[in-house]
Structures are given as C-alpha cells and as structure tokens.
Amino acid sequence: MTNRELFERAKKLMPGGVSSPVRAFKAVGGEPIIATKGEGSRIWDVEGKEYIDFLMSWGPLILGHSHPRVVRALEEQAKKGLSYGITNPHEITLAELVISAMPSVEMVRFVSSGTEATMSAIRLARGYTGRKYIVKFEGCYHGHYDGLLVSAGSGVATLGIPGTPGVPEEIANLTIVLPYNDVDALKEAFERYGQDIACVIVEPVAGNMGTVLPKDGFLQALREITRQYSSLLIFDEVITNFRVSKGGAQELYSVEPDLTCMGKVLGGGMPLGAYGGKREIMEKVAPEGPVYQAGTLSGNPMAMVAGIATLSELFEKNPYEYLDEITQTLCEGISKILKDKGIPHTINRVASMLTVFFTDQEVYDYRTAKSSDLGLFAKFFRALLKEGVLIPPSQFEAWFLSTAHTKEDIEEALNRIERAVSLI
C-alpha cells in the first residue's frame, strides 16, 4: 500500500481522511504521509520511508518514540488492567510528581486531553469568581472548547477557518480577544470589563501561532492586573509543561498563575491532560465543591504509568541543558543554510521548541507571525519531507526536539535540510 492509496480510502471514511485537521497537510499541499512506526528520533511511513522527526506527535514525545522505560511501564500495567473506573495508586504518584515540580499547583485533577483541561479550568474560574467573561489572546490555541475557538491558532489559523461556525454568538461574545504581548490593550480591556472578567487564559510561551515568546514584563503584567481585579490567571502549559523546564514556563519566567492546564509531555504519548492550582480554588471542584467535571477514563492507569515513567526519567536525568544545546545547534545550522541561500527568516526558540518563520520581521504576535511567506513555508515543508525530515505541516506550529535526538541526528538533519533548501 502507498500513502496515496491508503489516504484515498481514509478520505471516504473519515472527514478529510484524518482524526485531527492539520494532519491532512492541506496548508502545505501534496499527499499526507501515513505513519506505521516510530522509534527514538525517527518515524516511518507505510512505504517504509524514514524521517528524522521534529513533529514528535505535536509535543508529547520529549523522550522520543517508544522510550524503553515508558514502554516497559505500559507493558507491565496492561497485564494488570487497562482501566478500573476506581482510584488507583498511580494517580497519587503522578499527582505528587506534578505538584513537586510546580509550586503553584497544590491540587490536581486528571483528564484525558488538553482540551478537557482548558475547558474545565475555564468552568472552574467562572464558578469560583461568579463572573462570565474570559480573556484570551489572538493566535493562542487552547483546544476546541467553544468559547476558546475564537481567534484561535493551530489548525484554526492554518486552515483560515473564518469565525466559529457551530459556536453560538452568545458564547463567542463572552470571550474578549486581545493581541499577544500587548500590555496596553490588556489594561484597556480590564478598565472596561474588569469586574466581569473571570479569568485570563494564556499560552505563557505561544506554540500555536508558531513559537512566540512572551516579551519582558508581559506575563508579569498579566499577573498584576488579574490580581488587581480579582480575576484568575490561567497558564495553558499543555505544550510547555515539563518541556521548557522541569517546572514549565511558570518556572522559566518566574510568574505563578492561579490555575495551570497540562497535557502532552505529562502523558508521554498517552491521552492525558490535567488542571491544577491553588488549593482554595481546586476545592471548588466536585465532589469537594460544586463545580462539576468528570471522566470515565480520567486517571486511567495506562496514562498514569506513562506519565510517571516520563516525568521520572526527566526529573532523574535532567536533560534540559542537553535539549537546549542540540536545539540551538539546529537553529544556528538552519539559519546559516537559509542565509547562504538569501532567504529572509526569523527563528523563534525557547528550550527545545522552535519555529522557522519566512520573514525578516521580529515575530511577537499573531499579526507578525502572519507576515511569514506561507507559500515559501509550503515549499520548504515539502522539500524537507522529500529529503526525510518531518516538521509540523503548518507555519503556525512548533517543532519539537527530544532526548532521543543525538548530536549526529542533528548533523544529519542539517545535511538533509541543506539538500532540501538547495531544491527550493
């Protein structure tokens, strides 16, 4: 079977042939690949072609594909049951690990995806404050919960989906959207609506308009203004948790949110999300408090043991310096290749996540991210794919590195990227 043949079958059975939109490669054209195997830093498609993987399942695989410790934990647990629907000891171990890494998180609730985490955190913020407005930033993506799809990044940005079909206006109108990194706009919004704002939700490092870093003082301003108006500050760390440092972006930038949304690396490749924060707020969650939220598979032992194995490996080996070093080498190498070819570019990076934008402008919000030459990105993506390098099939996403990427892998990736760029 070829990728094309299988994808033709898939399209008849599933909308767009996929289970999640950006996988259809619509923004970059050409046939999507269908994956059959991942090991370490590599992924293979159905035709047996091998790629150096910088997509890394959109972020969870910080230890690479099928890390032996994670696989062993899953094999052992599978023999003892996949799900109990009753509390298991692994939930307590993982909760302790999460809480030990993030001082702002005193209690945690496990869910099965990042979307569930943000949706539940918003409900909790509204329940806790008794207010209805929420503030989000243009180009940030927080999952596909109705009120959070307004001006969202990731697939919504990639496909240029206008507005929010399926989301009633009454709900969309409760979301105030502001430009990322714009403190003046934030102050204005609070002066106008502050008493009715339940929370501000933000990606403390944005990954869903491509990688965009917070400017100095932006996260601090969010902290101050939400405190001043008794609104809650929610950090959506679904991408950044355990990725940009052991304690996430809140540790890296020394700003403590009231609530934190988690996912991706937390589950090491299994469906897992979580939200947590100050005890006083988390005690409002059912059954301790009145804000309802539940899940049949929440806290299921397979996701728990994958999370425990992933976090234990990270906390014991502390690979963050190594990840920083190889990611820097990759970025410098790409920059040199593009410069030699005379291609204008800006590379945004923090720790082991990065995005290459095809613009000579600084990229600090969604508007500047959109100044990238999307046609050139599509050519770049396809040339890389042909040469055996897989990156996210959209400009508005982040590339991820893992501990499985060796220095030789980076060298080999740069060779392949150089060949690819010579063809575009």
Residues belonging to the active site:
141, 236, 264
Q: Work out how close the CB of 320 gets to ligand PMP at its nearest, in angstroms, rounded to a whole number.
A: 20
Told to check if 236 binds ligand PMP by CB under 6 A, we report: yes
CA pair distance 345, 250, nearest whole angstrom: 29
Q: What is the DSSP letter of 298?
A: T
Angle between helices 68-78 and 301-317 (to 10 degrees): 150
Count of CB atoms situated within 10 Å of the CB of 99: 15
Residue 306 sits at φ, ψ, to 5 deg, of -65, -40
At its nearest, how many Å lie between ligand PMP and the CB of residue 120? 12
Residues 154-193: x/- map of binding to ligand PMP (CB under 6 A)? x---------------------------------------
Show the binding pattern over residues 79-118: x = contacts ligand PMP (CB under 6 A), - = does not.
----------------------------------xxx--x
DSSP-assigned states of every residue in 173-225: TTEEEE-TT-HHHHHHHHHHHGGGEEEEEE-SSB-BTB-BPPPTTHHHHHHHH
Query: Which residue's Cβ has the minimum distance to ligand PMP?
Result: 114
Number of H helices, E strands in the chain: 15, 14
- Scan for tokens 């540790």, then name that residue: 251
Residue among 55, 58, 53, 57 at smallest CA distance from 416: 53
- DSSP-assigned beta bridge partners for residue 65: 40
Q: Least separation, in Å, of the C-beta of 56 and ligand PMP?
A: 12
Judged by CB under 6 A, the number of residues near ligand PMP is 17
Residue closer to ligand PMP by CB (options 275, 364) is: 275
**Are 372 and 157 a contacting pair, CB within 8 Å?**
no
Contact 166, 209 (CB under 8 A): no
| 49, 187 contact by CB (below 8 A) | no
Please, which residues bridge with residue 270 across strands?
268
In the complex with ligand PMP, which residue's Cβ is closer, 33 or 122?
A: 122
Per CB under 6 A, contacts with ligand PMP among 52-81 are 58
Tell the smallest beta-carbon distance from residue 239 to ligand PMP (Å): 5
Q: Least separation, in Å, of the C-beta of 61 and ligand PMP? A: 13
Residue with smaller CB distance to ligand PMP, 222 or 383? 222
Q: Which is nearer to ligand PMP, 38 or 273 (CB)?
A: 273
140-159: contacts with ligand PMP (CB under 6 A)? 141-143, 154
> What does the per-residue mask of binding to ligand PMP show for 243-282, with x meaning CB under 6 A?
--------------------x---------x---------
For binding to ligand PMP (CB under 6 A), which residues are involved? Answer: 58, 113-115, 118, 141-143, 154, 203, 207-208, 236, 238-239, 263, 273
